Structure 1
Amino acid sequence: MIAAQSAHAALGSTPMTPPADASVTSRLVQPAGGAAQSVMRSASGAASSTASSASSYTVRETTLGNGTVVREYLGTDGVVFGIAWHGPQMPDLSVLLGSYFPQYVASVKAVRAARGNTRGPVSVAQSGLVVRSGGHMGAFSGVAWLPSALPAGVSGSDIQ
């Protein structure tokens, strides 16, 4: 059995420190009507280009060595307000969701109990936390965000 590669980020906290075998890219998203600018970074964090203007948020994409891609959505304060993932292995949600993980687990238990403990895609939509996760062996995906932390002009559908 292959162990899931750990990602070290947490919703509502700082972005992950990428593993040595990961590749990282960052895209600064400008306020409405502005253009996006890409900044390529190595796993060590060295930038190959720099951003010249402020942005409403940053999308930081990390491709882990196992092929799983984790996108972190960072506010101008550097705090993660949204996370998306897809790939052959499910990331460790306890790490990605951080302090929100117990709330997620309780909600999943309630949803599954209400529908007869069936497996399948899970959607948690609360005022303080939204998580959608699903997939099957070799193809997992999901998104999570903090509605109250979304920057002005950003909606949950922007977390992809």
Structure 2
Amino acid sequence: MTVVDVHAHVFPEIGRAESRRITGREDGPWLRTTDGPDAGMMMAGASEYRPVRRTLWDPAARVTDLDRLGVDVQVLSSTPLLFGYGLEAARAADWCRSVNGHLLRYAAHAPGRLAPLCQVPLQDTEAACAMVTEAMREGFHG
């Protein structure tokens, strides 16, 4: 029997400068990974949002966990902090494309085991639909 985990989150190694550049905001989300070998902190600008484990940004660590837990496939989506709902539609689309690129690179570490779901700019229905179509061609599972 194949064991599938249908709800898991990823927070790629997005730095503060990348977040500022794409979101145009000082309080944009980014990942700080200097808290130790297995620790990170999701950040909202200069504010600490929530501590996280290495599996959130390191696909090799995630696959090791999947093996230990007996999970064959894991469906991945970005953490809600990355959704960009507060951004203007065009910036949200750029942000989603960037996050999606990170998600594809993350999942490429273990094709067939890590199944990424794309992120779309829900602020703009037409742009969201177009992004889903584009993302499916790029290798997303939904």
Q: Rg bigger for which structure?
A: 1
TM-score class, shorter = under 0.3
TM-score by length of 1: 0.23
Higher helix share: 2
Q: Which has the higher strand share?
A: 1
TM-score w.r.t. the length of structure 2 is 0.25
